[in-house]
Structure 1
Amino acid sequence: MGKLKVTIISARDLEGKDIGGTSDPFVVVSVGTIKHKTDHLTKTTNPTWNTSLFFDLPPSVNPATESASFEVFDYDRLGSSDLIGRATIALGTLYKGHAQKVDLRLANSRNGILSVELLAEDFGQAIPTTTQTTTNPQQGGFPPQQQGYPQQGYPQQGYPQQQMYPPQQGYPQQPYYGQPPMQGYGYPPEQGYPQQGGFPPQQGYPQQYPPQQYPPQQGYPPYQ
């Protein structure tokens, strides 16, 4: 046995059947041979009922193939009620345990709309989970994106390469800092001063002493 809850919420733009262009509307809901109805409201074409009707479906009613029918009438105290419009909805389209609000356009009516809510308590389709399955893979993609950070970071982690500081622990070897810069500035080429130290070859002055024949100038005595 299936349990169905039907809530008749409201209607709008109903056709006026009485003098003055209004109606006294009420709704009859049928599922198989079971029928329930709302109270009638007076002199309105936009009624609001907010009335819940409960159906205990017998085993002879198969919700997968059965429909719920809705008929809106104009109540008449002295005669039969006038039909304003009707609509149906297949119970097989309902989701189990999930209340569904539906706006039904009334047949045999120019503009009438009936708003209802149906709840299949223990029968109906399973609620789709496609939105969850599509979302979870997208959320599961974050770990792959996070795995990209190590790939982007490790190439930039030249810090282990900057650990050349142990070779730079040559602070005791700081004498080298002076020598390489001097080689860079060209001071070694300017060390031609040792080549300019050819002054020792210019020390021929002692060799010029023999040309200074000062002893031969002692010939002043011969001029006497």
Structure 2
Amino acid sequence: MSASTVAAGCLTVIALVVALPGPATTRGRLVRVLGDARRPPRRPDVVRVGAVLGGLATAIVLGDWGGLAVGVAVAIGLDRSLRRLEPAAQRARRLRELADLPLAADLLAAALRSGAPVDRAVGAVAQALDGPLGDRLTAVARSLRLGAEPEEAWAHLAPVPGAERLAVAAVRSAGSGAALAGALTRLADDLRADRAVATEAAARRAGVLIVLPLGLCFLPAFILAGLVPVIVAVLDDVL
């Protein structure tokens, strides 16, 4: 039996173990029958299956025991690299939340200045935004109405980059009685300034990334037009 056959068999078994669901238990059967919103059914790990298949292809192409070792290394490297990539849906959600956060701070400050309680102001802002950040604010408002501690209620905004400053200001206001509207207005200005700086940095980085391929395109022409004649002339003199 060749090493490539052994590699194919081993990696195929690993892919099947990762892709197929585990053995059904009593609770698992009840979950499938009754449903469980908190624990969705297990789905195949597409990233790991893809990494294993990539390692399998590498091992088969290279063959021998060295190919098996390289295939395992490729599978591990692909698994780790692919998991670092941000899914498109998650990236779109994150960017939408970042874009809505300054507006949410301004709207919440305006609602508080009008005399609305914090929970109603947060709920009104959540309805106005109507997006992923609005969903999180809805959870905050619901927790506040149910009497949760401010730290627990505003923790729903923890996954949003930059929202920790909003949560800290709200928790501090609830504990000390400090005015929250002014802090939110300043926070909105700071968030917009941070976003402007990040946009400018991204534009500069994009310019560098655009110039680099163009430089690589001109490199062969530079070598042929500039270096090759010089090398030919030097060799002609030497020979």
Higher helix share: 2
Query: Of the two, which has the highest radius of gyration?
Result: 1
1 or 2 for the larger relative contact order (CA 8 Å, sep ≥6)? 1
- With the length of structure 2 as denominator, give the TM-score of the two structures: 0.23
- With the length of structure 1 as denominator, give the TM-score of the two structures: 0.25
Higher strand share: 1
